[in-house]
Structure 1
Amino acid sequence: MYIESVPNRNSPAAVLLRESYREDGKVRKRTLANLSCLPDEVIEGLKVLLRGGVAVPSVQEVFSVERTLPHGHVAAVLGAARGSGALSWFGSAPQELQPVLLAMLVARVISPASKLATHRLLHDDTASSSLGRVLRVGQCSADDLYRALDWLHEAQPAIERRLARAHLAGSTLVLYDLTSTWLTGHCCDLAARGHSRDGKRDDPQIVFGLLCSCEGCPIAVEVFKGNTADPATVAAQVTKLKERFGIEHLAWVGDRGMLTSARIEQVLKPAGMDWVSSLRAPQIAQLAQEHGPFQASLFDERNLLELTSQHFPGERLVVCRNPLLAEERARKRLELLAATEADLNKIVAATQRSHNPLRGEDAIGLRVGRVIGRFHMAKHFELLITPAAFTYRRKLDAIAAEAALDGLYVIRTSVSKAKLDADAAVAAYKSLAHVERAFRCMKTIDLHVRPVFHYSEQRVRAHVFLCMLAYYVEWQMRERLKPMLFDDEHLEEASAARASPVTKALRSEHAKTKDAGKTANDGSPLHSFRTLLQDLSTLAYNVTHTHLNPEAKIITTTRPTPLQAKAFALLGLNPACTQ
């Protein structure tokens, strides 16, 4: 049987229920009923039944959608957090706080904000994502978040031990660097005025040091008062590595402002630790005097040479020369000299003008001091100030001596050549860029550690630690999602192809192809990590019910787009399975 619509001239078409049969070898049909009087939806239902289906009312009549929430980014970050070990991190927390801690961690990645804003994000009535419903913390209070933060502060040593065992076991190097971030208000005991790396000289700040594996994976973080100098933090980190993590020997990689000679002698050597750092400019000049001037011809075959010095016993020194850096420093010096002279000439003219000339050593000195301090060129000028005149000239010998060291930097290390050759030592020092990337992600691009909305010391420390754990999850996700991001998937191959580690790091040919086309291998558009999360968030979480049982909630998720499906496949996740 089937239903057929038969045209009827100027009248509506007749809808007939018919049956086909075979007679005398021919297919014939007969009308069983006239269905023209039935509503269209009934006729459509009969058609479904005749095809062997099950007729139901329209979807709008069966299901009512109560709420639709962004979900894909939650599923991705939550799955990655669980895969990174977050459940074990929070396993010793009170049962009711474990999902809250996990929610705070995921929220820091998908929507970094204050704890009160995170509470609104999670709460059932004000939620802007599915996170609260998925983790069943939609009814938690703001106090629960602060209780969870207090627990996290107490659990930090144990969690960091887990990360150290996972990423530093069998390793040779550990990266360490320090950064600062400003605070608002004056109630936090950690807040103090110090050297601001963000140019916020008028605000109090905190500083925090980050320990990373040689690949850039974060291991531990510690917060210090805002006026703490970089070298003063090293001893605490060495103690942490030995006593808390049980690691007796590693090579510390830090910049020259961190691993100073005094810190090496007073902290690293007594602790039995090795180091990879670099020399300051006066030390490089001293080395040049000891070994003779470093002529450019010495670096023709390779951009580095290895030597020793009596001033650095037991250490290997790797002198590197970057021609591009040399050109840039020479250009910058000439520009600063010219700019300084232009302003100094104005002062000379002011002392020689006929009307109201500039007079007095103090008055002239103040003007000169402002100019010299502005461009930091005092070392290159000889100044002569009298009560009625001012003259200056360049120190040509000093300028030539500085120019001879353009493009040079010296890596110092105590690690033996068998464990770390010259090329590897330079590459190890340059790997501090991984820590700088972590700071950028934590402070500005993704996780927004600032502004800090807490005042108590322990909550400020816990907030920074939460941001570090969030970066750990992001770092793991980035490693898996590289085919969809602008990140270089073949960075090691590109590094191996470089003639020397001294030269500028190059992207692989594959990465250059991605950059040029802005597309992945399959033609899908490339993303930054943040825009990829935004794309994933369009996969929706629907809360529905039927009219037969309005109290029974049915959860459905929308079908992933091809790009979303690719992201979840790379992460090894199913967006529908987030419980």
Structure 2
Amino acid sequence: MTYVRKVRTASGAVAVQVARKHRGRVEIIEHLGSAHTDAELGVLLARARRIVDGEQGVLDLEVSTRIARVDEVADWRPEPERTAAASVAPAGRTLGTSSRLLYDVLGAVYDRLGFDEVGDTVFRDLVIARIVEPTSKADSARVLDDLGADTVSYKTIQRHLAAAVTRDYRNIVATRCFARAATSGDLSLILYDVTTLYFEAEKEDDLRKVGYSKERRVDPQIVVGLLVDRTGFPLEIGCFEGNTAETTTIVPIVRRFQQRHGLDDTEMVVAADAGMLSASNLTDLDAAGVKFIVGSRVTKAPGDLASHFHWHGDLFTDGQIIDTITPRHGRSTVNNVRTRAEPVWDPATHPNGWRAVWQYSRKRAVRDAQTLNLQEARARAVIDGTKPAKATRFVTVTTKGRRLDTASIERARSLIGLKGYVSNLPVSVMDSRDIIAKYHDLWHVEQSFRMSKTDLRARPMFHRTRDAIEAHLTIVFAALAVAREVQDHTGLAIGNVVKQLRPLRTSTIVINGATESFPPQIPAAQQRILADLGFVGY
């Protein structure tokens, strides 16, 4: 039997040993040191208990059943020797503190997702650092040092970034993400969106180019497409040249996702916003066997709802849904105003059209009316000269000057409250309310993008080569998966979890020649976070 042994030494100190009884004899397995104070004794006993219990984790001083003191150990020496001055070890010192708890928690989630299959501890640490404090790769060493991780040089980081591309880490991460979504998520609906990431660079190159920016930036940028499941868990990421039209990105991303996971013959439903609405996109998705739900532009409503406007004017009831047909091409005519009933789309009988679902909402109408009133007021101010002249909706410029486009305003007012959706899903497969409900799940992909650009700060980027950019996106992709996993289990934003766990510091001290690390006392709120993540060991 292995046990912890405390014996008094000739100097008066208390030696702590791990011993074993074998055939009536005591065998010393390891001598851990001698303690002169209660604190030193506690450190040595903690080390001994770890050996006896076979634990490999961080020590926990609370495992003892009672407090051990030096005075409690029998002193066999004569009284004169007992009172003689004994050598005293230097006072204990704190070597440092770290947020090792947070590091271990995020590492456990990373491994649970199966990303440890990458087999690269530096990549793993860069993913964790990206979640905790997004910063440059050169500054990641500081973040990792604060987390209690082993740090490496910047040149080593660069070598591992190169390996992320040559060894195709993204394929491993994407495969594990797909496996997670397939077992605990929902792959019946895939969501897609795009964003732009800009660079702190002055010149363009083959990838980084000046393109359309919602923020009206003129910096070189790239276009990034992100595919997620209906909960927002990432499945695929890809980048394109900065001047690439957003509408041309969805098909390559979806096809890459199909090929990576052998889904070429599997029907899947992809939802995307109106920015993906183009004739070629929808045709290509349909040809690839992908079912789609894409937001429609309100300007298409007069054509799609021609029959309704002909028979009922612009009157709608709150929540009213009209299931009809929209032309595949601008030159096509698929609706007949002489027929009061809306046609039911069928791919065989309507080869020149797609299914269109329109819904009217009174709440949306109020919001649209407010926006329209503001736009009209601005247009009038531009015409009156009280606002600077620039491209403004409802302002028409003629040879006689600027005038208010009243016809466009009236047409816009007749369409307020309407929201449209285009799909190649027949009514027999999915009814109109399900079409609308699935499209509304798109907020999850928008949330993931916001997370990547705020909590994970995917931008701005300082990389110059395409390989470095791809490696950076792979890190962001893996970090987004870990962050979503944490959020899904705790119900808390990843920034909130980091904020709560990072202040819980592990202390490393040296005392009596022994160096030990001691975990923090964990309050109840943070214990709930650990429990939600299934994390034990502290």
Measured at CA, do residues 50 and 317 of structure 1 come closer, stay the same or move farther in structure 2, by a change above 3 Å? closer
Deviation at 1:289, TM superposition (A): 2.1
Contact 2:190 2:227 in 1 (8 A): yes
2:522 counterpart SS class: coil
Deviations 1:266-304 (A, max 9, x none): x1122122110122233212112244356575434x442
Deviations 1:133-174 (A, max 9, x none): xxxx33x22122122222222221233133224325873221
Deviation at 1:109, TM superposition (A): 0.6
**The one of 175, 180, 194 aligned to 2:211:** 194
**Counterpart residue number, 2:324:** 307
**The one of 472, 480, 483 aligned to 1:471:** 480
Contact 2:304 2:325 in 1 (8 A): no
Deviation at 1:398, TM superposition (A): 3.3
Contact 1:63 1:544 in 2 (8 A): yes
Structure 1 position 289 matched with structure 2 position 311:
no
Structure 1 position 143 matched with structure 2 position 159:
no
Measured at CA, do residues 219 and 329 of structure 1 come closer, stay the same or move farther in structure 2, by a change above 3 Å? same
Cα distance in 1, alignment partners of residues 424 and 417 from structure 2: 23
Deviation at 1:313, TM superposition (A): 5.9
Structure 1 position 161 matched with structure 2 position 175:
yes
Cα distance in 1, alignment partners of residues 180 and 109 from structure 2: 16
Deviations 1:494-515 (A, max 9, x none): xxxxxxxxxxxxxxxxxxxxxx
Measured at CA, do residues 50 and 277 of structure 1 come closer, stay the same or move farther in structure 2, by a change above 3 Å? closer
Pick the structure with greater CA Rg: 1
2:212 counterpart SS class: coil
Contact 2:164 2:471 in 1 (8 A): yes
1:116 counterpart SS class: coil
The CA RMSD over aligned residues, in Å, is 3.0
**Counterpart residue number, 2:133:** 111
Structure 1 position 460 matched with structure 2 position 482:
no
Structure 1 position 65 matched with structure 2 position 94:
yes
Name stretches of at least 5 consecutive residues in structure 1 with no aligned partner: 1-40, 92-97, 348-366, 486-527
Deviations 1:304-327 (A, max 9, x none): 232335267634322111212212
Cα distance in 1, alignment partners of residues 402 and 472 from structure 2: 56
Cα distance in 2, alignment partners of residues 227 and 50 from structure 1: 72
1:308 counterpart SS class: strand
**Mapping 1:232-251, distance limit 5 Å:** 232-248=248-264, 249-251=267-269
**Mapping 1:290-439, distance limit 5 Å:** 290-292=307-309, 298-300=316-318, 302-309=319-326, 310=334, 314=347, 315-346=354-385, 371=389, 373=391, 375-378=392-395, 381=396, 385-386=399-400, 390=401, 392=403, 394-439=404-449
**Counterpart residue number, 1:80:** 109
Deviation at 1:556, TM superposition (A): 1.3
Cα distance in 1, alignment partners of residues 307 and 159 from structure 2: 60
Cα distance in 2, alignment partners of residues 372 and 334 from structure 1: 18
Deviation at 1:564, TM superposition (A): 1.8
**Counterpart residue number, 1:6:** none
Measured at CA, do residues 183 and 227 of structure 1 come closer, stay the same or move farther in structure 2, by a change above 3 Å? same
Measured at CA, do residues 165 and 479 of structure 1 come closer, stay the same or move farther in structure 2, by a change above 3 Å? closer
Deviations 1:448-489 (A, max 9, x none): 11121211101101101211210110101011111xx3xxxx
| Paired residues, number | 434
Deviation at 1:63, TM superposition (A): 3.9
**Segment of structure 1 superposing worse, 167-176 or 204-213:** 167-176
Measured at CA, do residues 566 and 50 of structure 1 come closer, stay the same or move farther in structure 2, by a change above 3 Å? closer
Contact 2:115 2:176 in 1 (8 A): no
**Segment of structure 1 superposing worse, 202-211 or 558-567:** 558-567
**Counterpart residue number, 2:278:** 260
Normalised to the residue count of structure 1, the TM-score between the two structures is 0.69
Cα distance in 2, alignment partners of residues 324 and 270 from structure 1: 37
Cα distance in 2, alignment partners of residues 299 and 531 from structure 1: 42
**The one of 563, 569, 579 aligned to 2:531:** 569
Deviation at 1:421, TM superposition (A): 2.2
**The one of 177, 188, 195 aligned to 1:179:** 195
Contact 1:568 1:575 in 2 (8 A): no
1:473 counterpart SS class: helix
Contact 2:316 2:360 in 1 (8 A): no
Measured at CA, do residues 535 and 244 of structure 1 come closer, stay the same or move farther in structure 2, by a change above 3 Å? closer
Normalised to the residue count of structure 2, the TM-score between the two structures is 0.74
Deviation at 1:49, TM superposition (A): 9.2
Cα distance in 1, alignment partners of residues 421 and 204 from structure 2: 42
Contact 1:305 1:318 in 2 (8 A): yes
For 2:154, the aligned partner's letter is A
For 1:425, the aligned partner's letter is I
Measured at CA, do residues 411 and 203 of structure 1 come closer, stay the same or move farther in structure 2, by a change above 3 Å? same
Measured at CA, do residues 326 and 545 of structure 1 come closer, stay the same or move farther in structure 2, by a change above 3 Å? same
Name stretches of at least 5 consecutive residues in structure 2 with no aligned partner: 1-36, 42-66, 76-85, 327-333, 336-344, 348-353
Deviation at 1:200, TM superposition (A): 4.1
